[in-house]
Amino acid sequence: MTARIIDGKAVAADLRQRIAARVATLGYRPGLRVVRVGDDPASGVYVRNKDKAAKEVGFDSATIALPATTTEAELLGVVAQLNADPAVDGILVQLPLPPQIRADIVISAVAPEKDADGFHPLNAGRLASGQPGLVPCTPKGVMHLLAASGAVLPGARAVVLGRSNIVGRPMAQLLLAADCTVTIVHSRTRDLPAECRRAEILVVAVGRPEMVRGDWIAEGATVIDVGINRLADGKLVGDVAYAEAAARAEAITPVPGGVGPMTIACLLENTLDAAIARRK
Ligand code: NDP
C-alpha cells in the first residue's frame, strides 16, 4: 500500500481563497503587524512570506523590523502601541527573540484578543478548558488537514509526539476537543515506537530528522509530519522517514508541502477571526 498524500499546498490555497472572499465583504481591511527583532535569516524568510500572504488576501499588513540590540522594554513599548492601535487586529512577534529579551514576557504582553499566534497564556488556558479563543497556527493547520483528508476523529486513537507550547500541547488539546483518545509522547516516554504504533492518527512535532521509522506506524494510520529539518546537503526533511511511513500509512503529509503552508494560512484565519470579534 502507498499512502494517499495530504496536499497541504492545495488545502492552504483553498483556505486563503476563502479568507480573501470574506475579507472582500467586510468593508475594512484586517490589520496584521509582524514584529521582527534582529536578522535571523530563517525568520526573515518566514516574516516576508507572512506579509506577502497577508497582502494577497487583502489585509493591511506591515512588518516592524527592530535591531538585534533592542531591549525588552523597547519591544514591550512597541507591543503596547500595537495593542492600543485600533487599526491593528493581529499582532505576531516572530520567535526566536535575542537572548536579552524574555519571550514569555513578550508573549504575555500581547493583547489576548490580538494574539494572532495564539501563544498568550490566556488563549492557551481557554484552549485547555474548552473555551473559544485564538489557537496556535500550526496545530490549527493540522486540524484543517485532518478534515480535508477525511479522517474520522471521534473515538480515534491519536498520538502526538512532542509537547512544545507551540505545537505538541495545543495539538493534543485540539484533538481532545475533537473527541479523539489522545496520548502525548516525548523525550521521557519509555517505548516511543510502541506508543506510536497504537496511533490511528499520528502527529509528529519533534524536530529530529526522520526519527519516526516505518515500523513505528500502524497499517492504515494517518500520519501528519510537522517537522521541518534542513540537512547538511540543503535538503528539507520531516521528522518522519517518509518513504518507509508511506508504505504503511493510509494517508501522510509530505515535507515540504504538508503542514508548512497551513501555518501561514491559519495565521491569516486567526487575524480575520480576531478582526471580526473585535470590530463587531
Ligand atoms: P521543540 O524543540 O520545542 O519541541 C520538541 C518536542 O519533541 C519536545 O516536547 C521534546 O520532548 C520532544 N523530543 C525531542 N527529542 C525527542 C526524542 N529523541 N524522543 C522523544 N521526544 C523528543 O520543537 P517544536 O514543537 O517547536 O517543533 C517541532 C518540529 O516542528 C521542528 O522540526 C520544527 O521545525 C517544526 N515546526 C514546523 C512548523 C510548521 O509550520 N510546519 C511550525 C513549528 C515547528 P521534551 O519536552 O521531553 O524535551
Q: Are 157 and 176 in contact (CB under 8 A)?
A: no
**Which segments of the chain belong to CATH 3.40.50.10860?**
27-112
Question: What was the pLDDT predicted at 41?
Answer: 86
Question: What was the pLDDT predicted at 47?
Answer: 93
Nearest CA to ligand 1 atom 5: 206
CA 95 to chain centre: 13
Nearest CA to ligand 1 atom 20: 187
Question: What was the pLDDT predicted at 28?
Answer: 98
The rounded distance, in Å, linking the Cα atoms of 113 and 117 is: 11
Average pLDDT over residues 81-100: 98
Q: What is the ipTM of this complex?
A: 0.99
Of ligand 1's listed atoms, the one at least distance from the Cα of 227 is: 32
What would be the CATH architecture of the domain defined by 136-259?
3-Layer(aba) Sandwich (3.40)
Domain 27-112 has CATH 3.40.50.10860: yes
Distance 211 CA to ligand 1 centre (A): 11
pLDDT at 112 over 80: yes
Q: Is 279 in the pocket of ligand 1 (CB under 6 A)?
A: no
Q: Is 31 in the pocket of ligand 1 (CB under 6 A)?
A: no
pLDDT at 142 over 90: yes
**Model confidence band, residue 95 (pLDDT cutoffs 50, 70, 90):** very high
Q: Is 141 in the pocket of ligand 1 (CB under 6 A)?
A: no
Average pLDDT over residues 88-102: 97
Q: What Rg do the C-alpha atoms of the chain give, in angstroms?
A: 19
Question: What was the pLDDT predicted at 43?
Answer: 87
**Which segments of the chain belong to CATH 3.40.50.720?**
136-259
pLDDT at 42 over 90: no
Q: Considering the chain, what is the average pLDDT of its residues? A: 97
Q: Is 253 in the pocket of ligand 1 (CB under 6 A)?
A: no
Q: What is the pTM of this model?
A: 0.98
Nearest CA to ligand 1 atom 30: 227
Percentage of the residues of the chain whose pLDDT score is greater than 90: 97
pLDDT, tens digit, 9 for 90 and up, residues 230-276 = 999 999 999 999 999 999 999 999 999 999 999 999 999 999 999 99
Q: In the 3-class helix/strand/coil scheme, how is the chain assigned residue by residue?
A: CCCEECCHHHHHHHHHHHHHHHHHCCCCCCEEEEEEECCCHHHHHHHHHHHHHHHHCCCEEEEEEECCCCCHHHHHHHHHHHHHCCCCCEEEECCCCCCCCCHHHHHHHCCHHHECCCCCHHHHHHHHCCCCCCCCHHHHHHHHHHHHHCCCCCCCEEEEECCCCCCHHHHHHHHHHCCCEEEEECCCCCCHHHHHHCCCEEEECCCCCCCECHHHCCCCCEEEECCCEECCCCCEECCECHHHHHCCCCEECCCCCCHHHHHHHHHHHHHHHHHHHHHC
Burial of 95 from C-beta contacts in 10 A (0-12 / 13-18 / 19+): middle
